[in-house]
Amino acid sequence: MNYIILDLEWDGSYYPKIGGFINQILQIGAVKLNDNFDVVDTFDCIIKSSFSKRVSKRFTELTGITKEDMLSGIPMKNAFSAYNEWVGDDAVTMTWSNSDIYTVLDNEKKLLDGIRLKIDKYLDLQKYIQGEMRILGIEYNSQISLLNAATALGVEVDESTLHNAKADSMVCAKLLKKFYDKERFERLILDTSDPDFFARYTYKPHYITNIDDVEIDKSQLIFYCPFCGSQLKNTKKWKPRFGGFKTVMSCDDCKKEFNANVKFRKMFDSVKVRRNLSERLPKD
């Protein structure tokens, strides 16, 4: 089995055809690893924009890729085809966080016709490395950057080369080789042939705005008095408010009134609930 660490660099540009901005992929960098996680091959390709003749100043500062570099690149469909041939079969593809997957899907949808980047099995390397860091007692409350992970784990990095797709892939390879655990690693491998895999990435979470929607767990509309524990009673109907719902509730035992707010955010396969209860103070 081959292991591929893929990294993409993209630049946000206004695309007249869709009347909006798109993060267009302008570089593909990757390394191929053997079963010992030694680098056996590399892939590096600069892509010519499908619609723009410039790159942003920020993109050049981050990646070192100039407008001239981009204009001398190859068309995206050719780059994707070359990459797909290079990947081969029976490979696990890894990226640092799943943001690259979102960008790939968006580019395939808006810029390409029937050509897909070959990703058969997938693993979020950022998620795996952060799991290994927690085992070592290193906690981060949010997703960690590649540089911060390498620094925290004692992996040498040439910061001047970061944000170059191939260079970032090489840093990822060092982290994986140093902190590989077979059981924990294989547990995170996903099969992209699962119909839900790409559907999950293209799904747009949204707030449920109909109080009678079957997705709403009605038990989440029940609140209890924070003073005595009695179930509160609605004194007003639930009304829409900022993507959620609000009402006024009262406690018969404490003779107090409360503002109750609840939001239901529909995810691909779950509903996240946010609730808030605050006492209504008497008016002077």
pLDDT digits (tens, 9 = 90+) for 177-206: 999 999 999 999 999 999 899 888 889 999
CATH number assigned to the domain covering 2-202:
3.30.420.10
Tokens representing 199 are 């559907």
Place of tokens 């099995």: 121
Q: How far is residue 264's CA from residue 209's CA, in Å, rounded to a whole number?
A: 8
H helix or E strand, kind and range, residue 46: strand 39-46
Instruction: Please tell me the predicted confidence (pLDDT) of residue 140.
Output: 83
Instruction: Please tell me the predicted confidence (pLDDT) of residue 144.
Output: 92
Tokens representing 202 are 């293209």
Instruction: Please tell me the predicted confidence (pLDDT) of residue 284.
Output: 57
Tokens representing 55 are 């790159």
| DSSP secondary structure letter of residue 194 | S
Instruction: Please tell me the predicted confidence (pLDDT) of residue 141.
Output: 79
216 within 8 A of 208, measured Cβ to Cβ: yes
Q: What angle do CA 183, 145, 167 make, to 5 degrees?
A: 85
What's the distance, Cα to Cα, between the start and end of the chain in Å?
74
pLDDT exceeds cutoff 90 at 166: no
Instruction: Identify the band that residue 160 occupies on the pLDDT scale cut at 50, 70 and 90.
Output: low
| CATH architecture designation of domain 206-279 | 2-Layer Sandwich (3.30)
Look up residue 198 and give its amino acid.
F
Instruction: Please tell me the predicted confidence (pLDDT) of residue 163.
Output: 75
Alpha-carbon distance values, 102 to 22, 78, 98 (Å): 11, 20, 7
The predicted model gives 147-161 an average pLDDT of 85
Is beta strand 244-251 parallel, antiparallel or unpaired with respect to 2-15?
Answer: unpaired
pLDDT digits (tens, 9 = 90+) for 62-117: 999 999 999 999 999 999 999 999 998 889 999 999 999 999 999 999 998 778 89
For residue 22, what are the β-bridge partners?
13
Closest CA to 129 of 96, 92, 93, 154: 96
Closest CA to 202 of 265, 93, 84, 109: 109
Instruction: Identify the band that residue 33 occupies on the pLDDT scale cut at 50, 70 and 90.
Output: very high
User: What residues have CB less than 8 Å from 107, skipping those under 6 apart?
Assistant: 10, 22, 23, 24, 25, 76
Instruction: Identify the band that residue 9 occupies on the pLDDT scale cut at 50, 70 and 90.
Output: very high
Q: Rounded to 5, what percent of the chain is helix, strand, coil?
A: 30, 30, 40
Instruction: Please tell me the predicted confidence (pLDDT) of residue 114.
Output: 73
Q: How far is residue 24's CA from residue 9's CA, in Å, rounded to a whole number?
A: 8
Instruction: Identify the band that residue 143 occupies on the pLDDT scale cut at 50, 70 and 90.
Output: confident
Domain boundaries, the chain: 2-202, 206-279
Instruction: Identify the band that residue 26 occupies on the pLDDT scale cut at 50, 70 and 90.
Output: very high
Mean pLDDT across the chain: 93
Closest CA to 66 of 50, 83, 53, 82: 53
Fold agreement between 2-202 and 206-279: no
